[in-house]
Amino acid sequence: GEDVEQSLFLSVREGDSSVINCTYTDSSSTYLYWYKQEPGAGLQLLTYIFSNMDMKQDQRLTVLLNKKDKHLSLRIADTQTGDSAIYFCAESMDSNYQLIWGAGTKLIIKP
């Protein structure tokens, strides 16, 4: 069945780059997504990438997709305290674009 896996925690120093990784099992994924959840809030879509793309960049965010290895990553450049959150990876496969979710990676920023 479908499965999306992420590390539970990532700790980085303020100003460094953060790289959050995600692996998925279903090669028929069409779109892959990164969401951010700040404490006590709902999830906010950060970015998404179509499965025929290798990379997508948006300001401090870079998404890399290795379709062969079924590996997705989110790089946050110059990590700030406001980036502290849980980051969820998700994939969609069918025409309804229903999402399969990873368990979320909690990004911890050290001063």
Partner 1 sequence: SQTIHQWPATLVQPVGSPLSLECTVEGTSNPNLYWYRQAAGRGLQLLFYSVGIGQISSEVPQNLSASRPQDRQFILSSKKLLLSDSGFYLCAWNNIGEYYGYTFGSGTRLTVV
Q: What angle do CA 19, 62, 55 make, to 5 degrees?
A: 115
| Among residues 12, 21, 23, 30, the one that binds partner 1 under rule CB under 8 A | 30
Q: Does 44 bind partner 1 (CB under 8 A)?
A: yes
Q: Which stretch binds partner 1 (CB under 8 A): 14-22, 42-50, 57-65, 69-77?
A: 42-50
In the block, tokens 């700030």 appear at: 80
Residue 94 DSSP symbol: S
Under the binding rule (CB under 8 A), the answer on residue 88 touching partner 1 is yes
Count CB atoms within 10 A of the CB of residue 61.
Answer: 15
Specify the long-range contacts of residues 39-42, CB closer than 8 Å, at least 24 apart: 39/85
Closer of 78 and 107 to partner 1 (Cβ)? 107
**Is the distance from CB of 51 to CB of 29 less than 8 angstroms?**
yes
Q: Is 65 in the site for partner 1 (CB under 8 A)?
A: no
Report if residue 21 touches partner 1, rule: CB under 8 A: no
| 79 touches partner 1 (CB under 8 A) | no
**Residue 99 binding partner 1, by CB under 8 A:** yes
Rounded to whole angstroms, the Cα distance separating 93 from 98 reads 7
Residues that bind partner 1 (CB under 8 A): 30-31, 33, 35, 39-45, 48, 50, 86, 88, 90, 92, 95-99, 101-104, 106
